[in-house]
């Protein structure tokens, strides 16, 4: 199983007929691209061309971010509802892959939930006109749907299986013939599962919980329906930064310390971290005032940037130690 | 300190969507295999003669609704994709153009555009085109198919369109053909009305003789591509595809069909090739493939920008045209019968 993460903010989640979604669900996976070197810009674009003839989106600054065209998966399944109530979701889930700086791969699946426009399943083209929306038949309470979805983490999923969808898109990318399928670093895949409650005039809020399962974070968000694209992007950016911090703190630093203690050379992974991972730390505050406010509010609680700086300083210290007293075994 | 409003955009972030010229009506006056020209103009003459009254009737109706200047174009499709007897016996493009033009004259109308079916699989923008001005349209359309979710599908399983088949319902579960197979269940059309009309469409087959098998696309999928071209709904990364090409007065036609552009404009002052409405006047044996093409088109996820652009253009016409939401609603067919009146010359 490979894991991935994604990001993107060009989906339209509002129905033409004005029905607004009242929930948004998603799952983001983040991992290293299985390739020894950094992918060039053109190689990143080619890798993200998952649908022929659909444009790949590319932004060069502040970090190079290449996003695949949206993939569409049809669903018609019962919702996993906590406590009481039943619901059936019919429509399509969107997913896409993102490559950041030719190094990090993310796979994202997301969907907006809105009220059903009829009591029966409608013709398929109706659902294709509102891509990324599932209509909910039945009337379970939104907070029960959210709790049910966020708790439905052990495979096989009993409700909407966004985990498999985001996983598949990662697999599809990682299996590409253009990659050499080796990585400079053994790091795991991190998963962020999120649910947003949407209501007119609601102010954006974020609540992050680190799960007791390894590499899993659960995020509850709220906002207005129009905020959904921003919330999706927020979760993708959070997933990327969370993965960077975890990788540096739990993989790079402890391994280097162990290597030094055993007189082995840790320099390769320290330099990989400094040259390849540290430049990726770029909070998305430039995207919009709302994103800036949301991200900074999150920072003021978690101090992620400060934690990351501390880890980076630690890596530099270790590098300097190795330079002063080289290990005996090269 | 005052806040300064700064914006920063990168052009590669969102693709621009080209507009294509659109008329009111595109009439497909026929569809023939290259082998059909082996007997000269007999088949095409009969085909165009059958189509003529319907073309006239459709034209009248459109002019009545949209005025005398309504833009109506005619086209003809030649199948150079299906492998035929022998490439040596094939008529040259220039010969076919002459036959078609003459036959249309006799039938009392003009054919504005000649298209070739292989040019629907891979669009060629101009004669002798190379990979740089080609678009793999069949691949693009196949990539836009979103299978209808079966009841219970929650995203766990990958879609089966990768098998090269698309159905409009739930297939019958695979069971061993045995007299005592008790678990046989019938297939079922999604959203059926009482009884099912279950259709399973082969989108492509693979030539298994080669290591790198090439997809051989089915008539059904290529018909879908052809109809979408006529409705002006296909783009390659936002760019228009298969724009009609007009040969200059001193420019000779290529000798090989594969060197011809996808769509060749035959008349000087033709109305646009693509149109708000597409009518096909065809012999009855195309019925199944045309039905399959409609099902395929009903399972495509269109770029919202392209649909909106088309609908806006239609609404802004002098006599506004209201397009239905689904592209299939802009297509109509007329399948004539096989009864011929024999002339006693």
Give residues with Cβ within 8 angstroms of B68, minimum separation 6: none
Q: What pLDDT, in 10s, does the model give residues A58-83? A: 999 999 999 999 999 999 999 999 99
- Residue written as token pair 């200047």: B69
Q: Average of pLDDT values for B94-100?
A: 94
**Cα A11 to Cα B220: distance, rounded to the nearest angstrom:** 31
The verdict on A136 touching B (C-beta cutoff 8 Å) is no
A129 is written with which tokens? 């006109």
Q: Average of pLDDT values for B263-284?
A: 97
Contacts of A292 in chain B (CB under 8 A): none
pLDDT number for residue B60 = 97
Least confident of A77-91, A158-172, B184-198: B184-198
pLDDT band at B341 (very low <50, low <70, confident <90, very high): low
The verdict on B14 touching A (C-beta cutoff 8 Å) is yes
Q: How far is A124 from chain B (nearest CA, A)?
A: 6
Q: Average of pLDDT values for B150-173?
A: 85
Contacts of A75 in chain B (CB under 8 A): 149, 153-155
Give residues with Cβ within 8 angstroms of A295, minimum separation 6: A234, A237, A283, A284, A285
Strands in chain B per DSSP E: 22-33, 72-79, 113-116, 123-124, 134-135, 165-167, 169-170, 188-189, 200-202, 204-206, 215-217, 235-236, 239-240, 263-265, 274-282, 331-335
pLDDT number for residue B2 = 55
The verdict on B131 touching A (C-beta cutoff 8 Å) is no
The verdict on B190 touching A (C-beta cutoff 8 Å) is yes
Closest CB to B156 among A12, A74, A157: A157
Q: Is residue A219 a contact partner of residue A207, using CB atoms and an 8 Å limit?
A: yes
Partner-chain contact A52 B136, CB within 8 Å = yes
Helices (H) and strands (E) in chain A, counts: 9, 10
Closest CB to A124 among B155, B157, B299: B299
Contacts of B156 in chain A (CB under 8 A): 156-157, 161, 164
Closest CB to A76 among B143, B150, B326: B150
Beta bridge partners of B263: B115
A8 cis-preceded (ω within 30 degrees of 0): no
**Cα A80 to Cα A260: distance, rounded to the nearest angstrom:** 49
- Tell me how far CA of residue B15 lies from CA of A58, A61, B9, in angstroms: 10, 18, 13
**Percent of chain A whose predicted confidence (pLDDT) is above 90:** 85
Q: Is residue A60 a contact partner of residue B9, using CB atoms and an 8 Å limit?
A: no
**Cα B292 to Cα B302: distance, rounded to the nearest angstrom:** 18
Least confident of A17-26, A162-171, A233-242, B60-69: A17-26
pLDDT number for residue A12 = 42
User: Residue A92 belongs to what H/E stretch?
Assistant: strand A88-100
Closest CB to B237 among A55, A156, A162: A55
The maximal CA–CA distance of chain A, rounded, in angstroms, is 74
Please determine, for residue A16, whether its predicted confidence score (pLDDT) is greater than 60.
no
Partner-chain contact B235 A53, CB within 8 Å = yes
Q: Is residue A123 a contact partner of residue A74, using CB atoms and an 8 Å limit?
A: no
Tell me which of B6, B139, B142, B155 to substitute to probe the interface with A (most A C-beta atoms closer than 10 Å).
Answer: B155
Residue A157: closest CA among chain B residues belongs to which residue?
A: B156
Closest CA to A308 of A266, A277, A272, A270: A277
Partner-chain contact A76 B136, CB within 8 Å = no
Contacts of B236 in chain A (CB under 8 A): 53
Partner-chain contact A52 B140, CB within 8 Å = yes
Partner-chain contact A59 B8, CB within 8 Å = no
Average pLDDT for chain B: 90
Partner-chain contact B136 A124, CB within 8 Å = no
Tell me which of B11, B156, B204 to substitute to probe the interface with A (most A C-beta atoms closer than 10 Å).
Answer: B156
Q: Average of pLDDT values for B327-336?
A: 96
pLDDT band at A10 (very low <50, low <70, confident <90, very high): very low
Q: What pLDDT, in 10s, does the model give residues B29-80? A: 999 999 888 888 899 999 999 999 999 999 999 999 999 999 999 999 999 9
Give residues with Cβ within 8 angstroms of B344, minimum separation 6: none
Residue A91: closest CA among chain B residues belongs to which residue?
A: B149
Please determine, for residue B161, whether its predicted confidence score (pLDDT) is greater than 80.
no
Tell me which of A124, A171, A193 to substitute to probe the interface with B (most B C-beta atoms closer than 10 Å).
Answer: A124
Q: Average of pLDDT values for A247-256?
A: 95
**Cα A157 to Cα A149: distance, rounded to the nearest angstrom:** 9
B167 is written with which tokens? 């159905």
- Comparing B183 with B259, the larger pLDDT belongs to B259
Burial B43-71 (b: 16+ CB within 10 A, else e): bbbebbebbbeebeebbeebeeebeeebb
Q: What pLDDT, in 10s, does the model give residues A211-237? A: 988 899 999 999 999 999 999 999 999
pLDDT number for residue B105 = 96
**Cα B328 to Cα B291: distance, rounded to the nearest angstrom:** 10
Q: What pLDDT, in 10s, does the model give residues A271-322? A: 999 999 999 999 999 999 999 999 999 999 999 999 999 999 999 999 999 8
Partner-chain contact B236 A53, CB within 8 Å = yes
pLDDT number for residue A3 = 33
Beta bridge partners of A126: none
Write out residues 58-97 of A within 8 Å (CB-CB) of B: 58-61, 72-77, 90, 92-93
pLDDT number for residue A15 = 46
Partner-chain contact B303 A54, CB within 8 Å = yes
pLDDT band at A6 (very low <50, low <70, confident <90, very high): very low
pLDDT number for residue B3 = 64
pLDDT number for residue B24 = 98
């Amino acid at each position: 199983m490979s894991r991935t993460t994604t990001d993107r903010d060009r989906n339209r989640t509002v129905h033409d007929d004005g029905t607004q979604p009242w929930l948004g669900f998603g799952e983001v996976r983040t991992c290293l691209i299985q390739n020894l070197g950094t992918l060039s810009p053109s190689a990143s674009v080619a890798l993200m061309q998952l649908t022929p003839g659909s444009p790949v989106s590319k932004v060069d600054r502040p970090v190079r971010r290449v996003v695949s065209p949206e993939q569409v998966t049809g669903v018609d399944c019962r919702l996993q509802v906590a406590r009481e109530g039943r619901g059936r979701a019919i429509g399509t889930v969107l997913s896409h892959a993102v490559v950041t700086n030719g190094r990090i791969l993310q796979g994202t699946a997301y969907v907006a939930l809105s009220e059903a426009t009829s009591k029966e399943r409608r013709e398929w083209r109706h659902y294709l006109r509102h891509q990324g929306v599932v209509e909910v038949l039945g009337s379970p309470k939104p907070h029960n749907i959210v709790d049910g979805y966020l708790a439905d983490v052990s495979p096989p999923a009993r409700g909407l299986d966004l985990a498999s969808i985001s996983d598949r898109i990662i697999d599809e990318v990682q299996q590409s013939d253009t990659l050499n399928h080796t990585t400079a670093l053994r790091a795991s895949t991190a998963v962020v599962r999120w649910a947003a409650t949407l209501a007119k005039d609601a102010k954006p809020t974020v609540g992050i919980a680190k799960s007791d399962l390894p590499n899993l974070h659960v995020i509850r968000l709220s906002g207005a329906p129009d905020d959904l694209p921003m919330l999706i992007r927020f979760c993708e950016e959070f997933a990327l930064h969370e993965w960077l911090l975890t990788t540096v703190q739990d993989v790079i630093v402890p391994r280097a310390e162990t290597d030094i203690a055993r007189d082995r050379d840790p320099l390769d992974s320290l330099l990989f971290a400094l040259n390849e991972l540290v430049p990726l730390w770029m909070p998305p505050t430039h995207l919009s005032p709302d994103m800036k406010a949301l991200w900074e509010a999150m920072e003021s609680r978690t101090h992620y940037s400060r934690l990351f700086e501390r880890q980076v300083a630690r890596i530099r210290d270790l590098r300097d130690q190795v330079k002063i007293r080289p290990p005996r075994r090269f | 300190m005052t806040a300064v409003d700064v914006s920063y955009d990168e052009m590669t972030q969102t693709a621009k969507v080209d507009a294509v010229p659109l008329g009111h009506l595109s009439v497909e006056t026929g569809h023939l295999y290259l082998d059909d020209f082996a007997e000269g103009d007999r088949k095409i003459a009969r085909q165009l003669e059958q189509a003529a009254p319907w073309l006239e009737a459709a034209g009248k109706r459109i002019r009545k609704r949209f005025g005398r200047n309504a833009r109506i174009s005619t086209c003809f499709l030649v199948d150079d994709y299906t492998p035929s007897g022998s490439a040596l016996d094939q008529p040259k493009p220039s010969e076919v153009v002459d036959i078609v033009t003459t036959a249309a004259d006799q039938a009392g109308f003009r054919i504005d555009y000649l298209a070739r079916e292989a040019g629907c699989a891979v669009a060629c923008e101009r004669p002798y085109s190379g990979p740089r001005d080609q678009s793999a349209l069949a691949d693009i359309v196949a990539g836009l198919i979103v299978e209808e979710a079966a009841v219970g599908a929650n995203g766990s399983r990958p879609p089966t369109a990768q098998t090269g088949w698309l159905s409009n319902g739930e297939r019958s579960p695979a069971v061993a053909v045995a007299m005592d197979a008790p678990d046989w269940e019938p297939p079922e059309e999604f959203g059926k009305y009482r009884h099912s009309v279950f259709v399973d469409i082969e989108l492509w087959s693979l030539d298994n003789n080669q290591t790198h098998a090439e997809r051989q696309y089915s008539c059904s999928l290529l018909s879908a591509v052809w109809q979408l071209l006529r409705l002006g709904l296909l783009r390659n990364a936002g760019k228009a595809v298969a724009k009609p090409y007009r040969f200059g007065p001193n420019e000779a036609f290529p000798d090989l069909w594969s060197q011809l552009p996808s769509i060749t404009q035959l008349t000087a002052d033709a109305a646009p090739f693509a149109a708000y409405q597409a009518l096909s006047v065809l012999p009855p044996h195309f019925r199944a493939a045309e039905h399959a093409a409609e099902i395929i088109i009903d399972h495509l996820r269109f770029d919202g920008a392209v649909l909106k652009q088309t609908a806006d253009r239609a609404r802004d016409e002098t006599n506004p045209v209201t397009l239905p939401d689904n592209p299939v609603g802009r297509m109509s067919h007329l399948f004539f019968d096989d009864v011929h009146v024999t002339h006693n010359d």
